[in-house]
Amino acid sequence: MTNTNNIILSNIQIEQKIRRIAFQIYESNSNEKEIIIAGIADNGYSLAEKIAEVLGKISPLQITLCKVSIDKKKPTAPITTSISSDEYKNKALVLVDDVLNSGTTLIYGVKHFLEVPLKRFKTAVLVNRNHKKYPVKADFKGISLSTSIKEHVVVEFNKNETIAYLI
């Protein structure tokens, strides 16, 4: 259950962050005709859908959504994507996740996409935490947050509202 005292981003704030991230992605890819928005399932994909929706309204880019499935408990297990590697080969791609915690999920996601030549490769997260285990960074981020190691950031994507809070 959500503890309203610990909310770090309200629905309106998240919508603003998503809009800003979409504009940053467009600015960084304004010379492209097409872009792949690859979201890490489940929450990263929900965020990717929202970014793609805004991007579709503000830019002429052809947007392809891709769901990336990573076993977060065993990130070295094979990673699957909803589109084939031929569909993102030599294209601009943004890998999206909701929260960058230790960097484990994002770095294994990056590793997967490095097996195919890409024209441009960036990362985007809604919440960037400062407790990374791996040397991975978010190119586009909604908010950077210094938290204790015991605190966890939760992003809830509901039908009518999205919120981020600490537990």
C-alpha triplet 81, 21, 7: angle, nearest 5°: 95
83: in domain: yes
Total number of domains constituting the chain: 1
Strand runs labelled E in 83-139? 92-100, 120-129
pLDDT-derived band at 84, boundaries 50, 70, 90? very high
Task: Show the domain range for 75.
Answer: 7-25+33-166
48: in domain: yes
82: in domain: yes
pLDDT of residue 4: 63
49: in domain: yes
**Tell me, what CATH number does 118's domain have?**
3.40.50.2020
pLDDT of residue 3: 54
Region 79-107: mean pLDDT is: 95
pLDDT-derived band at 162, boundaries 50, 70, 90? very high
pLDDT-derived band at 152, boundaries 50, 70, 90? confident
2: in domain: no
Distances (CA, A) of 141 to 68, 83, 103: 19, 25, 14
Q: What is the pTM of this model?
A: 0.94
Say which residues have a Cβ less than 8 Å from residue 30's Cβ, sequence separation at least 6.
59
